[in-house]
Amino acid sequence: MISTKGRYALVMMVDLAEHDSGAPVSIREISERQGISGKYLEQIISTLIRAALVKSIRGAQGGYHLAIPAEQITVGMILRATEGDMAPTECCYSGACCERSGACSSQHLFKRVYTAINEVIDHVTLAELMAEDMESRCCSPSA
């Protein structure tokens, strides 16, 4: 399951991409637009900076920018930065063997699930998320 941290990281990254007008975007602006605690967003942004997905600009007019274009950032990059590996079980990614390895009827299933998850998150970009977000706002009955 993807945690609140991972979901909010995706929301924050889409917000940064949508509001990238050249001027840095502040945590306060994102917080107000998205209705998410600024303190929580500060924790998430530091993770995204360490992952080289976001750059910070210091000073009174400072804030944040995407470190690379939205077209080059995948959902997988964002989720792995905030969530770690997306494997459904430890044996899928660590090579660790449980006491049932070799006799486990579900190990192959979990590896297929892991492959499917990675296939999706590694092929959806931030730019695509942003376009889908804009489309849903423009075409929703409440718009």
Number of domains in the chain: 1
- Summarised one tens digit per residue, pLDDT across range 53-71 is 999 999 888 899 999 999 9
| Domain hosting residue 109, numbered range | 4-139
Question: Residue 9 in contact with residue 75, Cβ under 8 Å?
Answer: no
Compute the distance between CA of residue 43 and CA of residue 39 in angstroms, rounded to an integer: 7
The CATH number assigned to the domain holding 79 equals 1.10.10.10
| Ramachandran bin of 101, using left for φ above 0, alpha for ψ from -120 to 50, beta for the remaining angles | beta
- Summarised one tens digit per residue, pLDDT across range 105-135 is 777 788 888 889 999 999 999 999 888 876 6
pTM of the complete model: 0.84
pLDDT at 47 over 70: yes
